[in-house]
Amino acid sequence: MPPADGKYESGRPEMTREAMINIVRVSAVAADKIFQQAAAYLPSETGGILVGYELDANAIITHIISAGPSGQHAPGSFMRDGAYSQVELEKLYDNSEGELNYWGEWHSHPRTFPLPSNVDRSSMAEIAMSQAYGLATPILVICERQQNRGWRLLAFQWCGDSLSPRELVIE
C-alpha cells in the first residue's frame, strides 16, 4: 500500500504490514525487563521497542529493546535512542531470518496514569503513517505504576485513526 503522504523514498515501494491483533502476548522475560527498567528510571519515564511475531491474530512479543545510551528520560516524557533501537532491531531481525520484527513501542507511566497521553497518540499516529516502520497498526504497551507501587502492563493498538485497548497476557 502507498504511504500516507503519497511519496516513496526509493524507486520501489516497500511493503507496509497491517495486522489487526486481538491479544498482545508478552513473554515473562520481556515483561520482567520492562518492569525492571521502569523501576530503575523512577521518577522518570523509560521505554523502547516491542519485537516479536504474529500468530493467529496474537502479537507474540518475545523481546523488548531498551531506551539505549542516548535515551532521554524525564518524569513526564521520554525519547528513545533511535540509532541504538535500529541496530538492536536489525540484530533480532537478522538472527531470526526475519521472523522477529518491529511491533511497536513501550514506555513507563511512573505517575499512575493508565491511558495514552495526547503525545502518545500523536507519536503512534506518526509511526503508523511513516513508511520507515513498515507497520500501519503499531502496538503501544504502557507500563503503569499503580497506587500500591506495583506495575502493570496495558496494551493499545493504532487502528485507522485511534488507539484501541487490547487484551494483554504475560506468559
Interaction site with Zn ion (CB under 5 A)? 117, 120
- Minimal distance in Å, beta carbon 93 to Zn ion? 26
- Minimal distance in Å, beta carbon 108 to Zn ion? 8
CB nearer to Zn ion: give 100 or 116: 116
Q: How far apart are CA 34 and CA 141, in angstroms?
A: 10
Judge whether 45 counts as a catalytic residue.
yes
CB nearer to Zn ion: give 33 or 109: 109
Residue with the CB atom nearest Zn ion in the bound state: 120
Alpha helices in the chain (DSSP H): 28-40, 82-95, 118-129
Q: What DSSP string describes 56-80? A: TTEEEEEEEE---TT-EEETTEEE-
Of the listed 9, 14, 18, 45, which one is catalytic?
Answer: 45
CB nearer to Zn ion: give 54 or 120: 120
- Minimal distance in Å, beta carbon 10 to Zn ion? 32
| Cα angle, residue 25 at apex, residues 1 and 55 outer, rounded to 5° | 50
List all residues 6 or more positions away from 136 whose beta carbon is below 8 Å from its beta carbon: 1, 16, 17, 18, 128, 129, 158
User: Could you list the active site residues?
Assistant: 45
